[in-house]
Amino acid sequence: MRFHFSPKTPLFSLSSSSITSLCLRPFLPSAPKFPFYPSLACHASTSGNIRMDSTSPDPSSSSSVSVDSVADGLKNQSLREHDISNNNNMNNENKKNNGKLSLEDLNWDHSFVRELPGDPRSDSIPRQVFHACYTKVLPSAEVENPKLVAWSDSVADLLDLDPKEFERPDFPLKFSGASPLAGAVPYAQCYGGHQFGTWAGQLGDGRAITLGEIMNSKLERWELQLKGAGKTPYSRFADGLAVLRSSIREYLCSEAMHFLGIPTTRALCLVTTGKFVTRDMFYDGNPKDEPGAVVCRVSQSFLRFGSFQIHASRGGEDLGIVRSLADYAIRHHFPHIENMSKSESLSFSTGDNDQSVVDLTSNKYAAWTVEIAERTASLVARWQGVGFTHGVLNTDNMSILGLTIDYGPFGFLDAFDPSYTPNVTDLPGRRYCFANQPDIGLWNIAQFASTLMTANLISDQEANYAMERFGAKFMDDYQAILSQKVGLQKYNKQLVNKLLSNLAVDKVDYTNFFRALSNIKADPSIPGDELLVPLKAVLLDIGKERKEAWTSWVQSYIQELVASGISDEERKASMNSVNPKYVLRNYLCQSAIDAAEMGDFEEVRRLLKVMERPYDEQPRMEKYARLPPAWAYRPGVCMLSCSS
């Protein structure tokens, strides 16, 4: 698999029509690359922008090993040796109750504003901000009797924050932005991005204000950010506020994704402001007032691809900012790359005719780019595994840490539909539909690589290799995930492709199907008319022809199970540990939102508790695993706009 592109030309773009045709093409077993996803086989246009050959690297080859084996060990190095000289020691006298801290005693460290160039102005007037990574700005959302409605003890634990702090009467004031948090240095980040494949220029934190970084007792760095706390210079024509509807969705999904085991930003708390915000949810000229809210998001970093793109796009002296920002990211978030040495011999042939070699130990920026590509590929593979659709995979919504970030119109698959998109603004072309996510991940990596090439940090060969690694890493992880989901130790392409085809034809519930599949017994003697009994609850309203198709598949599946030699009990336990029973379906979110807008937040809290144990049976909570009711398909529940 090889990629070729010129840094002087755009990388590649997918038109709406081409995406639609790829996303909705017939589901044929011969479809290349990703099962039922658009092919990664992109061929060069006449301008020679980018090409990927139809053959992927052999997983057993040295290039497929890449930095994985070395980086996995290096990643485990403690941040202590790198950060200890730059941060204050934790003061034991300030600790309370088993090392837990009050809000006043949190250990702040403002490396981002200390080490990177900032805006000389600190007002929130919408404007272009040049030669700066951030603007210092204070939260400005109006509040009236703000209330804490949901919180996460596990996120508090990351910060060494005493959970009793949630009981403070001034807690809602501090986390709505109405009252300053001691030690915080609030700022909004400057970034740009490609939106729906088109360069949009400066975007930035238009309604998110970062309070700063907390160093916990493990010397892990965690940024706290208030979303919906008021205007910033990057708000453009918006008000910088957020409504309860979108805030509940972000709060619940960031936590639900974490407990599914998927890398994500987290959420410390959700606070209502007591004020109303006007929103036109469907952009149809019918705005309405909605309750306002603020979410405190938590992440090791909110740097995204667009954080680098904006400076590269401006050229000149701003190219130096790209390098400074890359150095900052590597120093604080990828210290194992800083510590790589020639002794690791991370050199790989690119496969070109001239036998060119990419040596990742000779250029830390190349090693960094490869790791970002692999983290992103692994993340997308995990999304596909649980049926999660992000909805807005613009480059400004892509984390350099490989985290799920910026929850807007997201959705989990109910009926399996590769063309599913939760974003009404994406309906014409379905650029960001479920099936397209792997290709869009690659497209975004290509834009990021182009940015680093523009700043002369990596070569075209190194960029090509990073994208090659994306493809190989995605396929490795995706195939491993699908094998685990069906309870097999080895990937069976034909079996999996036929399964996904059947799921798509009959619109089978994605989550419930894989959970039910664990009930199949590895017994070839089961009569044909009884084979589908364990799947009866998920194979609804299928006719005779489709029953025959499913029976044939189950027979082939049982043969594979018998060959594996794993007991039914062991396989069921293994499958249920990777196939969740509970996911955050849109209708569940909507039920919680409907109650919350009437002042009842119990369903939000109850739903959070269920999503904290997605793989457990949870007696008396079975209703949260049910198929969506008829009302769930009304506009505004399963198809959502970005308005929040």
User: Does pLDDT of 80 surpass 90?
Assistant: no
User: Does pLDDT of 352 surpass 60?
Assistant: no
pLDDT the model gives residue 357: 78
Spatial separation of the C-alpha atoms in residues 244 and 288, rounded to whole Å: 13
From the number of C-beta atoms within 10 Å of its C-beta (0-12, 13-18, 19+), residue 112 rates as: buried
Rounded average pLDDT over 39-44: 30
pLDDT band with cut points at 50, 70 and 90 for residue 631: confident
User: Does pLDDT of 8 surpass 50?
Assistant: no
pLDDT above 70 covers what percent of the chain? 80
The answer for 36, left when phi > 0, alpha when psi is -120 to 50, beta otherwise, is left
From the number of C-beta atoms within 10 Å of its C-beta (0-12, 13-18, 19+), residue 644 rates as: buried
Name the nearest CA neighbour of 253 among 610, 608, 506, 516.
Answer: 608
pLDDT digits (tens, 9 = 90+) for 388-434: 999 999 999 999 999 999 999 999 999 999 999 999 888 888 999 99
Dihedral sign for Cα 408, 414, 419, 424, please.
negative
pLDDT digits (tens, 9 = 90+) for 423-468: 988 888 899 999 999 999 999 999 999 999 999 999 999 999 999 9
Decide the pairing of beta strands 208-215 and 221-227.
Answer: antiparallel
Out of 396, 414, 476, 506, the active site residue is 396
Q: What is the CA radius of gyration of the chain?
A: 25
Dihedral sign for Cα 606, 611, 617, 622, please.
positive
Q: Are 294 and 229 in contact (CB under 8 A)?
A: yes
- Residue 416 structure tokens: 């399996």
Q: Are 272 and 291 in contact (CB under 8 A)?
A: yes
List all residues 6 or more positions away from 202 whose beta carbon is below 8 Å from its beta carbon: 128, 129, 190, 191, 192, 234, 310
The answer for 252, left when phi > 0, alpha when psi is -120 to 50, beta otherwise, is alpha
pLDDT the model gives residue 581: 98
Spatial separation of the C-alpha atoms in residues 570 and 439, rounded to whole Å: 35
pLDDT the model gives residue 351: 59
Name the nearest CA neighbour of 399 among 265, 224, 531, 501.
Answer: 265
pLDDT digits (tens, 9 = 90+) for 109-127: 999 999 999 999 999 999 9
Q: Are 45 and 513 in contact (CB under 8 A)?
A: no
pLDDT digits (tens, 9 = 90+) for 166-212: 999 999 999 999 999 999 999 999 999 999 999 999 999 999 999 99
239 is annotated as an active-site residue: no
Spatial separation of the C-alpha atoms in residues 109 and 87, rounded to whole Å: 7
Spatial separation of the C-alpha atoms in residues 184 and 136, rounded to whole Å: 11
pTM score of the predicted model: 0.85
